[in-house]
Chains A and B, each alone.
Chain A
Amino acid sequence: MPSAVDSRATRDDEILAVKDVSYAYLDRFAALADVSLAVRRGEKVALLGANGCGKSTLLKVLDGLVFPDSGTFNAFGAAVTEQKLEDQQFSEAFRSRVGFVFQNSDAQVFSPNVRDEIAFGPLNMGMPGDQVARRVDDTLEMLDIAHLADRAPYQLSGGQKKRVAIASVLVMNPEVLMFDEPTAALDPRTQHWLTELIEELNGAGKTIVLATHDLASLETLADRCIVFNEEHRIVADGTPEDILGDRRLLLSVNLIHHHTHRHVVAGPEPGTQQEIVHSHDHDAGHHHIE
């Protein structure tokens, strides 16, 4: 399936690539079926699809956290396998270049306090203590969470936990940043802050891969969309404009639904009311598609 984004890109630009990847949880519940995808340097890719279509699993494959039952995964020109990630040198090189922000911040924020949480990654990369401390301070400052530095995770709100989770990944300065449902369960202000941050990071040269079904923010979050159907296969690859404009595609993968409702409005005569019944397509964010 040809990409709609940049046909001039060469294979050298491909930093992450999966080919014919299939994966099933407990060998029974299919999550990915013959998925092939190449992510090029500097792209902002959104994996779109209904719940349970395999977006998060693909992100985990791309981060070397789960390994495909069949197919291959290459990162930065080298094959990534379970055995290769057991090699400390390879593992450190890969982990420092790919960062993953989990959907559940509670799973990602596990250290006794925010400062230790942010320092966890660089310390594990073997960075000297004084450099780690400097980077932690810079990251706290950048994400405007310096005042939370000595707080414990249970003293943070959902939005603050998300900022800490992002800081804990950004501090490692990875080339590729992956976000699983970045805007889910966040208030509108934090959602806005996060979409701006993702845009800014991409502008600074980071490659972004994210799983979402937030169609409202899609044009800001991505410049390329990969659409999954509920059979765990990729069915489309294109720009946000192309994908959002393809109503039949969005309906077929259950990203939008068609419904009918009625509005009660003022009637032609003073003091009267009339009902208008109409139908339209609806996405998860309750925005009219047209």
Chain B
Amino acid sequence: MTATSTPAWLIDNEVGLCPCSCVGKRKKANFADKTIAGSASLLRKTMFAEDTAAGGGLLQRIDPRVKIVSLVGLLIVASLVHHIPVLLVMYLATLALAARSKLSVGFFVKRVWLFIPIFTGVIVLPATFSFITHGHIVVPLGHWFGHRVGLTSEGLWSAALIVTRVATSISLVVLLTLTTPWVELLAALRALRVPRMFILVTGMAYRYLFHLLDSVTDMYTARKSRMVGRDTDVVAGRAFVGASAGALFGKAHALSEEVYSAMIARGYNGNPRTINRFRLRVHDLFWVAGCVVAAALVMGWDHAIGR
């Protein structure tokens, strides 16, 4: 007696790919392949800085609460500075801090400058033209509608100021995220009285983002493992994406219900509580003092140069 009645076709071997590879043709991974694999990998690299955060560099040794407060303070200073040379010095200081924190300076620079041309560049580009920022044209672009058009020195100066300010600010934020484990960062925010619900939701979103990302990758891999021949059917492709999104939504919903049950079972009543285990040490105080002195010097220098 067998458990199921096996159809005859399942017992017969079917011809698969010709072993001499004379059937079919090679093709590169398609756009969706690359996008899904690429997004998953990028997200992991971007958000999992655990290896660098666990290093024994300068910033890794600072109490996360102190680090958040001091770097936010320096961010405010950077936003108040009006001179490019001062901002450049601040930017160079972030590079020095990255080096002292045992981060690869090349990786750090790339990480900061990867997004600046995309976001800030698009915003500041129009400001460099004479019809937005009037002034002395240094790069003439001919005549449009009878008016002389080009890039003005005032516009370029403003654009450079914004770009250096953004680069310095992003560098400070990246320094914080690369030298602080995510869990410590959340705990420090909680210790700094950031609302509990915000911390809880952020922490869980981060936690389950990767869980769901794994589900997406698994679903895609499962589909790929069953595909034979060319994947050029656009309609089927769209149907797969739609079905996957629906399935993922269902999974996320079921998981959220289960997580909530697990929280309720352990006495959760809408008021999350965490252990605060941070302790200030002497080197934290030195770090704060150093940041205060640096901020005062920067502001003083900027003020001395004048507007």
Contacts and interface: CB of A to CB of B under 8 A. Distances in A.
Interface of A: 60, 63, 65, 88, 91-92, 95-96, 98-100, 102, 104, 106-108, 110-113, 115-116, 119-121, 123-125, 129, 132-133, 136, 150, 152-155, 168-169, 172, 257-260, 279
B255 A123 contact: no
A124 B210 contact: no
B187 interface: yes
A88 B276 CA distance: 24
A112 B183 contact: yes
9 contacts: A92-B267, A107-B261, A110-B207, A124-B271, A132-B275, A133-B277, A152-B181, A153-B207, A259-B3
B258 A102 contact: yes
B274 interface: yes
B104 to A, nearest CB: 22
B76 interface: no
A13 to B, nearest CB: 24
A237 to B, nearest CB: 26
Nearest to B257: A107
A96 B258 contact: no
B269 A110 contact: no
Given A119-B275, A133-B277, A100 B1 contact: no
Contacts of B277: 115, 133
Contact of A100 (B3, B203, B206, B265): B265
Interface in B151-186: 181-183, 186
B267 A121 contact: yes
The DSSP consensus for interface residues of chain A is helix
A192 B171 CA distance: 50
Contacts of A116: 183, 187, 274-275
B267 A124 contact: yes
A154 B274 contact: no
A106 B267 contact: no
A65 B268 CA distance: 12
Given A106-B211, A107-B259, A123 B203 contact: no
Given A112-B207, A119-B275, A96 B183 contact: no
A88 B275 contact: no
A187 B30 CA distance: 37
Nearest to A133: B275
B3 A257 contact: yes
Contacts of A257: 3
Given A95-B265, A116-B274, A169-B266, A107 B255 contact: yes
B273 interface: yes
B262 interface: yes
Given A100-B265, A279-B1, 9 more contacts: A65-B265, A91-B267, A95-B267, A99-B265, A110-B262, A112-B207, A152-B182, A169-B266, A260-B1
Nearest to B261: A65
B120 to A, nearest CB: 32
B89 interface: no
A154 B210 CA distance: 8
A95 B262 CA distance: 11
A106 to B, nearest CB: 6
A91 B270 CA distance: 13
A36 to B, nearest CB: 23
A24 B3 CA distance: 31
Contacts of A133: 275, 277
